[in-house]
């Protein structure tokens, strides 16, 4: 009778097989025990160029390629290791100071043990991804050593040993092995192998075992520019000490445990949502939760409980007697906490007396009125599910700096005021206060303890002097998370080898011509803003024998050059959009493509993706055709040039005639769109005029609308709509579309009420058509701008349009509210928007020009793409606006002008004025009205603010006022901005 013996014992290779056993819990709370095999081997190279033995056994991939050895033969030294050294950081080091490792000045030749990578992945995915990209960068020389798979460095967990201790031991063993291994290389200068850790216990054990080991701070001190780098290490240990010292001295209420929050949310007792801070009052936040139609209000520091704008938090609704109206008062952080001392944490209470006073007045006001119905539910934060902290741009608050710190190199605690007003002041410890004063700096938040009034952060990078063009532009790009670094080599490698000499092949049998229509004979032209280099679109029209017109929209064929999933495509999908600043353009695609090879420049042949319709003279579509093509644009017009040409009756050439045809058709198309209920919205848009030599801003102009602009717009809309229908038909589950949700009626409540009270006008919002009509009725015969003002305000009540993947929504939800179109996508600007590029690929697959690429039909992938481009798109818009605002400020520098403005918003202690001439809005506080702050009576029912005492004025909503506009450096944000003073009311 044979017996089944345990096979492992009889195996001669038993020593090389191990297993990894761990327990994991699933989302549903089930606990699983996982057993995995681990094969131990001896051919994992050390990857040091000094080593002679490892290359012999180095592995190769299926095509026989070897991985090059990365660690330098002559690594940099420090004061303790003049012979050079390799670094082995532990998980803790990466968790606390990833910024440090990304420095250019130090931290080269780093060995990352596999166990550290694993631990990091479990602790923080973003940090893991940053580390992975470091290992891919050639010049940083990071090497992942798979210590768990190497026989000599594998360690088994001992009885009673915690996982962390075991992992630390594994790191130490790796260090020891490396030291021994390198010693055997017979190199002249054997580099030292140095472990970096912030874990005291680990360091102690390392010293016992005779391994070189330092804490991050100790190590950085040995480097040349150590002092600067020192600031980038968060003081984890120090903070622990503080905590130990005063355990009971907590300023904020404790967070609920995760399980308590989860059960609470499940039972509907607690609510989960994204925390948003009011732009006018830093002590008021709001949170939208699915359970309530209106946002919950979170008032006061204690209730906000350490949440920062953007965090995913859990809140508890407060009892009804604590419900309040949303604030009608402006509360700015700097005005109230101006004199706080960054060192003093033991301030009497979390809510300072001043803050309390500010809030008190709120409460008084609510109580004085008996309109209980107005009170909105309030809530308090009981826990944070996910922090949404990023890096923040800001500057050091001059007033928080002590005199001694300005001279010495002593470590000092200062406040950093972030550029984004919604972010609280960040406490920062630094030794370089003197150098950093007056500079734009980049900081991150590390933690926010219960015992600390403000979050604690560390310094990352210095961007340059405040108000220099370079620093401000970079600050802006960082603040809106725009990828602005030059394209890496891997991306540039994807460009055509011919460079600028690339031409459309002459031979029509060339593979590039496959399935392309030859449209070179058509009279095509492009119409764009002045100086436009990335020409996405071109148009043509010609009469057909049957009296109809053929109209073609030709879009740059970017998808011919950018193939799915190569490095360039990946980079473009991350950037998602080009960003236009006043003086700078951050491209989505490398210049060569964007401004040359793809750009539909005049007089040269270019590949294009064409949409060609047959339109009746009434602009009804008879048929639509999509095809890849080759075109030759006859002329690149600016809007102004085109307009002049159309208006000039002496021009009777075919090209001009075709533009006139297009113009006539576009007007009919527009009328149709408006009849269907498309909204014509408005935003205060201005253009900054720059001096051509120095590119200093000299003047601000409001944008003029020309018919030619609306011509191009109409045909782009038509192309987008046609394409949307076609790709949806081909890919009902995965078409990339753009929708604009109908705004909830409550969004318009306030505006409708304001109009009713102040002007006796009705705003109906049942449908986009009704809204469009009622907006048309909102006119003030005496004031032509009034209508625009209302449109601007209405625009702000809308939802933002978003990209989505068709499978994620039901068909009725596809609707584009603003354009009153059932289905819509973006197709016409593939050079500057990634969504268009995806639409191009889908359309190419739909017309069977090329096989369907998996990336354009994988729903999961497309959803991720949509999510990213939605965020990037928004950020790009914000960055563009911020850039204009900055330059408007610069253009006004040193000037003082009087302009007309309109009151847009009114508070009990101030009001917001919009000046259309500059497209800016600014807050005028009561205390700005006169030397002594006047008394004020605010009537919320009629939106009227009447002041008395030092100055008597009566300010009403929508009122036209005369203001004096000057520039002023904003203390809080360090931005040069405009300051308005009320001259008179009309």
| Region 561-590 residues binding another protein, contact defined as CB under 8 A | 564-565
Of 17, 156, 363, 698, the one binding another protein (CB under 8 A) is 17
177 binds another protein, rule: CB under 8 A:
no
Q: Which of these ranges, 15-23, 571-579, 805-813, 936-944, lies near another protein under the rule CB under 8 A?
A: 15-23
d(CA 61, CA 69): 15
**Counting Cβ atoms within 10 Å, is residue 6 exposed (0-12), middle (13-18) or buried (19+)?**
exposed
SS3 967: strand
Does residue 758 bind another protein (CB under 8 A)?
Answer: no
Binding-site size, another protein (CB under 8 A): 46
Q: Is 811 in the site for another protein (CB under 8 A)?
A: no
| Binding flag, residue 20, another protein (CB under 8 A) | yes
41 lies in the binding site for another protein (CB under 8 A): yes
Choices 4-12, 273-281, 705-713, 839-847; region in contact with another protein by CB under 8 A? 4-12
Q: How far, CA to CA in Å, does 617 sit from each of 546, 624, 720, 721? A: 11, 15, 21, 20
From CA 891, how far away is CA 882, in angstroms rounded? 14
Widest CA span in the chain: 110
The yes or no reply on residue 530 touching another protein (CB under 8 A) is: no
- Least Å distance, CB 309 to another protein, is 32
Residue with tokens 């639509």: 624
Which three-class secondary structure string do you get for 218-269? HHHHCCCCHHHHHCCCCCHHHHHHHHHHCCCCCCCCCCCCHHHHHHHHHHCC
Stretch that binds another protein, among 18-26, 85-93, 519-527, 722-730 (CB under 8 A): 18-26
Give the binding range for another protein (CB under 8 A) out of 29-37, 246-254, 340-348, 902-910: 29-37
494 or 772: whose CB is closer to another protein? 494
Contact between 519 and 630 (Cβ < 8 Å): yes
Which of 21, 55, 67, 269 is in the footprint of another protein by CB under 8 A? 67
Tokens encoding 896: 């003082």
Give the shortest CB-109-to-another protein separation in angstroms. 16
Query: What does the alpha-carbon distance between residue 937 and residue 925 come to, in Å, rounded to a whole number?
Result: 14
Q: Which of 676, 697, 608 shows the shortest CA–CA distance to 883? A: 697
Residue 371 sits at φ, ψ, to 5 deg, of: -75, 80
Query: What is the distance between the alpha carbons of residues 626 and 721, in angstroms, rounded to a whole number?
Result: 13
Q: Confirm or reject binding of residue 344 to another protein (CB under 8 A).
A: no
44 binds another protein (CB under 8 A): yes
Site membership for another protein, residue 124 (CB under 8 A): no
Kindly identify the residues of this chain, within the stretch 248-287, that bind another protein according to CB under 8 A.
none
Three-class SS of residue 111?
strand
Under rule CB under 8 A, residue 13 binds another protein: yes
Q: What are phi and psi of 857, to 5 degrees?
A: -125, 5
Q: What is the DSSP string of 496-563?
A: -TTGGG----S-TTSGGGTT-EE-TTS-EEEEESTT--S--EEEEEEE-TTS-EEEEEEEE-HHHHS-
Q: Is 36 in the site for another protein (CB under 8 A)?
A: yes
Q: Rule CB under 8 A: which of 546-565 touch another protein?
A: 564-565
| Residue 60 engages another protein in binding (rule: CB under 8 A) | yes
Does 166 bind another protein (CB under 8 A)? Our answer is no
Is residue 858 involved in binding another protein (CB under 8 A)? Answer: yes
Q: What is the DSSP letter of 378?
A: B
Contact flag: residue 148 with another protein (CB under 8 A): yes
Residues 855, 832: Cα–Cα separation, whole Å: 20
Q: Does 692 bind another protein (CB under 8 A)?
A: no
Residue nearer to another protein on the CB measure, 39 or 811: 39
Query: Between residues 43 and 776, which has the closer beta carbon with respect to another protein?
Result: 43
Looking only at the bridges linking them, the beta strands covering 920-925 and 910-915 are antiparallel
Q: 831 or 845, CB closer to another protein?
A: 845
Stretch that binds another protein, among 16-24, 253-261, 582-590, 964-972 (CB under 8 A): 16-24
Among 73, 77, 81, 121, binds another protein (CB under 8 A): 121
> What's the rounded Cα separation, in Å, for the pair 813 and 801?
12
Q: Is residue 146 at the binding interface for another protein, with CB under 8 A as the rule?
A: yes
Beta strand pairing call for 621-638 and 605-615: antiparallel
Residue with Cβ nearer another protein (61 or 348):
61
Q: Which is nearer to another protein, 43 or 254 (CB)?
A: 43
Q: How far is the CB of 178 from another protein (least distance, A)?
A: 15
Residue 21 interacting with another protein (CB under 8 A): no
Whichever of 58 and 644 has its CB closer to another protein, that residue is 58
Footprint on this chain of another protein (rule: CB under 8 A): 1-2, 4, 7, 11, 13, 17, 20, 22, 24, 30, 32-41, 44, 59-63, 67, 114, 117-118, 121-122, 135, 144-146, 148-149, 564-565, 853-855, 858, 861
């Amino acid at each position: 009778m044979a017996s089944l013996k345990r096979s492992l014992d009889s195996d001669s290779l038993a020593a090389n097989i191990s297993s990894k056993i761990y327990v994991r819990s699933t989302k549903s709370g089930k606990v699983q025990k996982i057993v995995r095999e681990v094969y131990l081997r001896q051919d994992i190279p050390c990857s040091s160029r000094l080593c002679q033995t490892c290359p012999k056994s180095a592995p190769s991939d299926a095509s026989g390629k070897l991985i090059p050895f990365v660690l330098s033969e002559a690594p940099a030294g420090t004061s303790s290791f003049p012979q050079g050294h390799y670094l082995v950081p532990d998980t803790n080091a990466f968790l606390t100071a990833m910024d440090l490792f990304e420095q250019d000045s130090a931290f080269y030749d780093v060995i990352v043990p596999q166990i550290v990578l694993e631990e990091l992945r479990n602790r923080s995915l973003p940090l893991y991804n940053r580390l992975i990209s470091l290992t891919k960068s050639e010049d940083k020389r990071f090497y992942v050593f798979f210590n768990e798979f190497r026989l000599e460095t594998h360690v088994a967990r001992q009885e009673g040993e915690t996982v962390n201790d075991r992992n630390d031991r594994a790191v130490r063993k790796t260090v020891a092995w490396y030291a021994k291994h390198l010693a055997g290389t017979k190199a002249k200068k054997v580099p030292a192998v140095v472990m970096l850790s912030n874990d005291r216990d680990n360091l102690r054990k390392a010293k016992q075992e005779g391994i070189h080991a330092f804490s991050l701070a100790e190590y950085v001190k040995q480097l040349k520019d150590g002092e600067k780098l020192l600031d980038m290490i968060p003081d984890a240990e120090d903070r622990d000490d503080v905590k130990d010292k005063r355990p009971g001295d907590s300023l904020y209420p404790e967070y609920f445990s995760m399980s308590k929050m989860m059960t609470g949310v499940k039972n509907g007792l607690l609510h989960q949502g994204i925390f948003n801070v009011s732009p006018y009052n830093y002590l008021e936040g709001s949170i939208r939760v699915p359970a309530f139609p209106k946002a919950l209000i979170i008032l006061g520091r204690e209730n906000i409980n350490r949440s920062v704008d953007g965090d995913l938090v859990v809140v508890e609704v407060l009892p009804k007697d604590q419900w309040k109206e949303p604030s009608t008062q402006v509360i700015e952080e700097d005005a109230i906490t101006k004199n706080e001392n960054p060192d003093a944490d033991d301030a009497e209470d979390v809510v300072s007396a001043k803050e309390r006073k500010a809030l008190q007045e709120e409460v008084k006001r609510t109580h004085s009125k008996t309109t209980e119905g107005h009170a909105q539910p309030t809530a308090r934060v009981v826990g944070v599910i996910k922090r949404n902290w990023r890096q923040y741009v800001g500057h050091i608050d001059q007033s928080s700096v002590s005199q001694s710190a300005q001279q010495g190199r002593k470590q000092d605690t200062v406040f950093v005021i972030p550029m984004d007003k919604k972010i609280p002041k960040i406490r920062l410890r630094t030794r370089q206060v003197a150098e950093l004063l007056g500079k734009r700096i980049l900081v991150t938040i590390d933690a926010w303890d219960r015992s600390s009034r403000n979050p604690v952060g560390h310094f990352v990078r210095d961007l340059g002097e405040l108000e220099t063009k370079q620093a401000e532009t970079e600050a802006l790009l960082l603040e809106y998370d725009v990828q602005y670094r030059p394209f890496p080599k891997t991306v540039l490698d994807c460009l055509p080898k011919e460079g600028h000499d690339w031409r459309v092949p002459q031979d029509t049998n060339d593979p590039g011509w496959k399935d392309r229509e030859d449209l070179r004979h058509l009279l095509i032209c492009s119409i764009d803003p002045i100086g436009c280099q990335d020409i996405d679109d071109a148009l043509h029209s010609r009469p057909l024998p049957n009296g109809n017109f053929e109209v073609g929209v030709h879009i740059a064929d970017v998808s011919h050059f950018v193939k799915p999933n190569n490095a360039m495509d990946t980079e473009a999908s991350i950037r998602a959009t080009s960003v236009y600043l006043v003086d700078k353009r951050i491209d989505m695609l490398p210049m060569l493509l964007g401004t040359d090879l793809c750009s539909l420049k005049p007089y040269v042949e270019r590949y294009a993706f064409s949409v060609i319709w047959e339109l009746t003279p009434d602009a009804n579509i008879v048929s639509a055709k999509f095809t890849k093509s080759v075109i030759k644009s006859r002329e690149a017009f600016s809007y102004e040039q085109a307009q002049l040409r159309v208006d000039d009756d002496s021009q009777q050439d075919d090209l001009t005639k075709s533009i006139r045809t297009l113009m006539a058709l576009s007007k009919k198309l527009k009328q149709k769109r408006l009849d269907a209920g498309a909204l014509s919205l408005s935003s205060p848009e201005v253009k900054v005029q720059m001096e051509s030599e120095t590119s200093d801003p000299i003047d601000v102009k409001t944008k003029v609308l020309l018919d030619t602009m609306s011509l191009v717009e109409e045909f782009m809309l038509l192309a987008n709509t046609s394409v949307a229908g076609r790709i949806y038909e081909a890919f009902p589950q995965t078409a990339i579309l753009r929708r604009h949700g109908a705004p909830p009626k409550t969004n318009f409540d306030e505006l409708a009420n304001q109009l009713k009270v102040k002007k006796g006008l009705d705003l109906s919002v049942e449908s986009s058509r009704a809204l469009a009509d009622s907006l048309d009725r909102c006119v003030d015969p005496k004031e032509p701008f009034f209508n625009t003002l209302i449109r601007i305000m209405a625009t702000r009540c809308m939802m933002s349009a978003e990209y989505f993947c068709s499978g994620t929504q039901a068909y009725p939800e596809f609707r584009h509210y603003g354009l009153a179109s059932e289905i819509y996508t973006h197709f016409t600007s593939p050079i500057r928007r990634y969504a268009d590029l995806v639409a191009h690929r889908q359309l190419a697959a739909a017309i069977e020009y090329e096989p369907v690429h998996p990336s354009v039909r994988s729903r999961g992938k497309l959803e991720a793409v949509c999510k990213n481009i939605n965020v990037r798109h928004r950020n790009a818009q914000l960055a563009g606006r911020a850039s204009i605002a900055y330059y408007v400020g610069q253009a006004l520098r040193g000037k003082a002008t009087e302009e007309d403005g309109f009151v847009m918003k009114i508070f009990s202690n101030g009001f917001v004025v919009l000046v259309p001439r500059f497209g800016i809005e600014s807050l005028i506080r009561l205390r700005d009205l006169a030397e002594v702050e006047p008394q004020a009576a605010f009537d919320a029912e009629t939106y009227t603010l009447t002041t008395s005492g030092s100055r008597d004025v009566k300010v009403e909503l929508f009122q036209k006022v005369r203001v004096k506009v000057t520039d002023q450096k904003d203390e809080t944000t360090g931005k040069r901005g405009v300051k308005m003073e009320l001259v008179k009311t009309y």
